[in-house]
Amino acid sequence: MSFLERLRAGLRRTTDQLVGRFDRLDADPATRVGVGPAAATASLDTLDTLEEILIEADIGVSASRRLLDRVRDHTGDADLRSVVKHELRRLLEAPIPAPVRGGCPRVVLVVGVNGTGKTTTVGRLARLLALSGQQPVICAADTFRAAAVEQLQVWARRAEADFVRARPGADPAAVVFDAISAGKARGRDVVLVDTAGRVHTRTNLMSELDKIRRVAGRAVDGAPHETLLVLDATVGQNGLAQAQAFLEAVGVTGVVLTKLDGTAKGGIAVAITAELGVPIRYVGVGEQLDDLVPFSAAEYVEALFEPAW
């Protein structure tokens, strides 16, 4: 399937909810916006209903109100659905930070709480990089969970990526240093670091991430060049608190939103970019190796409103 087809399939539950509600709104003549005072007055109930739709899709109160303000101020003869789609794209288009200049290999730190799909994401990201012609190294920096290391090794094999691990209980920062050194020696392009899942409220665990960052910076100039936070879309607004904590602690540069195929709250992507200003870099839309896809605001919005059938 194409990117858009996979995205539509992954967002099907969210789309089912949105499309049904918007179909009912479209049947109301008051849903023409920006066509004069009478229409503006008539659309007050419509805007209230729209706010409910957006919040139920987990776009969040703050982002929903920003969107409603833009819809209310819109001028021109346009239907409500078109205006909402346009404004959603604007909210989703958080700027991607300029690439950090530094040495080679490029180091990508993958962080997040337990159960978000970090290990799977690292394997899939390695696959994407390999398909683009790059040679990745996967670093198993979760040295406390043997099962996580074994799982990651399977993903590395499937992605045809180099794999660096250490003995159980080893210092994670030391493993990262060894992986970067191996990447240099082998002439690899990028090192993907799978860190241990950690509760964002545990200060000691977040400090460990800071140590990994410092050691990576000593191993290669500018590292980590990117820090990706993996968020589970099914947790909805709770993901914002996670993102805020990691953003403050380790300087997150982008988000990977996983498990979109398992939720009707795909609007959380809008809340993340609108409220935190952090771009969505990739989305997970299934269980297969190729079900991690680069994020596109325009195609994401189209998928939200276009059924997969």
pLDDT digits (tens, 9 = 90+) for 97-142: 777 777 899 999 999 988 888 999 999 999 999 999 999 999 999 8
> What average pLDDT does this structure show over 167-182?
91
Identify the CA nearest to 183 among candidates 106, 78, 84. 106
What are the φ and ψ backbone dihedral angles of 110, each rounded to 5 degrees?
Answer: -110, 120
Rounded to an integer, what distance in angstroms lies between the CA atom of residue 38 and that of residue 8? 37
Neighbours of 24 (CB within 10 A): 12
Q: Provide the 8-state DSSP code for 266.
A: T
Across the range 220-238, mean pLDDT stands at 90
* pLDDT for 120: 92
Instruction: Please determine, for residue 276, whether its predicted confidence score (pLDDT) is greater than 80.
Output: yes
Asked if residue 278 lies in contact with residue 302, where contact means CB atoms within 8 angstroms, the answer is no
231 vs 74, residue with greater confidence:
231
Distance CA 57, CA 144 (A): 36
